[in-house]
Amino acid sequence: DAEITQSPRHKITETGRQVTLACHQTWNHNNMFWYRQDLGHGLRLIHYSYGVQDTNKGEVSDGYSVSRSNTEDLPLTLESAASSQTSVYFCASSESGTGTGELFFGEGSRLTVL
Amino acid sequence: DAKTTQPPSMDCAEGRAANLPCNHSTISGNEYVYWYRQIHSQGPQYIIHGLKNNETNEMASLIITEDRKSSTLILPHATLRDTAVYYCIVTILTGGGNKLTFGTGTQLKVEL
């Protein structure tokens, strides 16, 4: 079955280190998204992509970057991790065109920055 | 995207209908109403969406008022497994992609 997977599911790192969270989907969806979720907040959009070589900033993009070199993957990189980036990160994908617009979410990656 | 307002929490007895309200008074004519839910620690899950007609699927029903300024998600026979945070989102359905804006949702607790 097609799916969307995130790795690692849990990671602890230190302030200043570079961290990459992987997201891989097998639906061949053009659209991919990264959200973060913190206590007291809903999901907030970090970056998104509507296709290969396309990337866009969301509402909380500072300190994060993404690249889209193929349809299946959208890795999220924290160039220099900060304690404020301790959060749960969710990747999602959706198809383009006249579908339902439904987003399919991964199971999340819990990142702790010490 | 239009802003939505939902109660922060609701309780429901198992087996009864759960009616979750959402206000979206600034919704524009081409914006859809989407509902997602998030069971503890999992990724959000799509439930249903609609434009102006009422919709029903195997999970829930969506009732949208005639003026489209509010809607209600109905879980007809709530079970303990329906305990989750429910998000109401309004957005334009584009041919490209929907970057949904999630609020804080309604925490539904289904109890025996």
Mean pLDDT, chain B, rounded, equals 92
- Count of all residues that appear for chain B in the document: 112
Inter-chain residue contact B102 with A44, CB threshold 8 Å: yes
Contact B55/A at CB under 8 A: no
Size of interface A-B (CB pairs under 8 A): 65
Contact B69, B4 (CB under 8 A): no
Contacts 24+ apart (CB under 8 A), A62-67: A64/A34, A66/A34
**How far apart are the C-alpha atoms of A29 and A3, rounded to whole Å?**
11
Which helix (H) or strand (E) segment holds residue A111: the answer is: strand A109-113
Of B45, B46, B96, the CB nearest to A96: B96
Q: What does the pLDDT average to over A76-95?
A: 96
pLDDT at A98 over 70: no
Q: Give chain B positions within 8 Å (CB) of A104.
A: 46
Q: Give chain A positions within 8 Å (CB) of B22.
A: none
Contact B6, B20 (CB under 8 A): yes
The distance of A13 to chain B (nearest Cα, Å) reads 21
Contact A108, A6 (CB under 8 A): yes
Q: Give chain B positions within 8 Å (CB) of A31.
A: 96-98
Under DSSP, is residue B19 helix (H, G, I), strand (E, B) or coil? strand
Inter-chain residue contact A33 with B96, CB threshold 8 Å: no
Q: What does the pLDDT average to over A79-95?
A: 96
Backbone angles phi, psi at A80, to 5 degrees: -145, 95
Inter-chain residue contact B102 with A35, CB threshold 8 Å: yes
Amino acid identity, residue B32? Y
| Residue percentage of chain B with pLDDT more than 90 | 79
**How far apart are the C-alpha atoms of B60 and B84, rounded to whole Å?**
14
The model's pLDDT over B29-63, given as tens digits with 9 standing for 90+, comes to 889 999 999 998 899 999 999 999 899 999 999 99
Inter-chain residue contact A96 with B97, CB threshold 8 Å: yes
Q: Give chain A positions within 8 Å (CB) of B34.
A: 101
